[in-house]
Structure 1
Amino acid sequence: LVGSEVFDTHAYAASKGAIVTLTRAMAVAYAGEGIRVNVICPGLIDTPMSERARSDVETMVRLRDLQPLTGEPGRPEDVASAAVYLASAPFVTGAVLTVDGGWTAR
């Protein structure tokens, strides 16, 4: 959800924007059928996919500056908690739930 000089990947950023727009369009299209469509936008999460970033000292120092809540990568459980919330919230559709420790709030 945010451009970053740390993770310089234009195509990746474009795909994330497309997912947000697609989520909102699908939420409207399927609401009449009782289908809810939401998206979780995680920040850097401690998973195998983020191993390269987590192993780079310069990247992790920059993360501490960018991510105000803890300065550390999120845990998979943080994303799972967001998914449980969305699954249990019957009046929520078209939501973009950011789970990034405050990175995009800066």
Structure 2
Amino acid sequence: METARIWPIALLIGSNVFMTFAWYGHLKHKGAALWAVIAVSWLIALPEYMLAVPANRMGSNVYSAAQLKGMQEVITLTIFAIFSVTYLGQRITLNHGIGFALIAAGAFFLFRTN
């Protein structure tokens, strides 16, 4: 696979790691003040944007916008599942797996040629 196709994927993976922590990391710290978790989440989200924007800009040279969005959703769900189990200590149930698989199946059709 050529570099032009790999870089957007790598940047989206990095972006989603930051965003997952920004959106869900505070759930492990429910005693913290809401204003504090919002401020920390914004600080974590800044590097996310610094990765996501170039990922989509570069990615648009080799992928359609729909393909980039579908790819991002699959990456998000994968990272979220890992995060949920390893960081939050929650388990992924069969229903979660089925729901994630259906979303991934939708993304599959975005890459399918007619």
Q: Which has the higher strand share?
A: 1
- Considering the TM-score relative to the shorter chain, is it more than 0.5? no
Which of the five TM-score ranges fits, normalised by the shorter chain? 0.3 to 0.5
Q: Which has the higher helix share?
A: 2
Q: TM-score, normalised by structure 2?
A: 0.35
